[in-house]
């Protein structure tokens, strides 16, 4: 299944956008960077996992 069709990916992408919007003016750059990277990793990991081949060990 394409990850862009997954509801969980869509919601995580929306969350990522909201985090970037809401933290854009935050002056604590280290904290802002950590939170935005964490938010971006959610849809990225979903996409990566959905594209990975399933091992025969688990089927």
Q: pTM, whole model, 2 decimals?
A: 0.76
Which is nearest to 19 in space by CA: 8, 9, 7, 31? 31
Neighbours of 6 (CB within 10 A): 15
Alpha-carbon torsion (46, 50, 55, 59), positive or negative: positive
What is the reported pLDDT for 59?
56
Give the pLDDT of residue 37. Answer: 96
pLDDT number for residue 57: 57
| Residue 33: per-residue pLDDT | 95
Distance (Å, rounded) from C-alpha 16 to C-alpha 35?
10
52 with 32: CB under 8 angstroms?
no
pLDDT digits (tens, 9 = 90+) for 16-59: 999 999 998 999 999 999 999 999 999 999 999 887 766 555 55
Q: Residue 54: what pLDDT?
A: 63
Q: Are 15 and 35 in contact (CB under 8 A)?
A: no
The ranges assigned to domains in the chain are 3-58
């Amino acid at each position: 299944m394409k990850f862009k069709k997954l509801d969980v990916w869509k919601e995580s992408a929306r969350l990522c956008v909201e985090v970037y919007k809401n933290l854009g003016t935050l002056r604590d750059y280290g904290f802002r960077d950590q939170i935005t990277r964490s938010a971006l990793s959610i849809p990225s990991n979903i996409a990566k996992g959905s594209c990975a081949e399933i091992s025969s060990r688990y089927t």
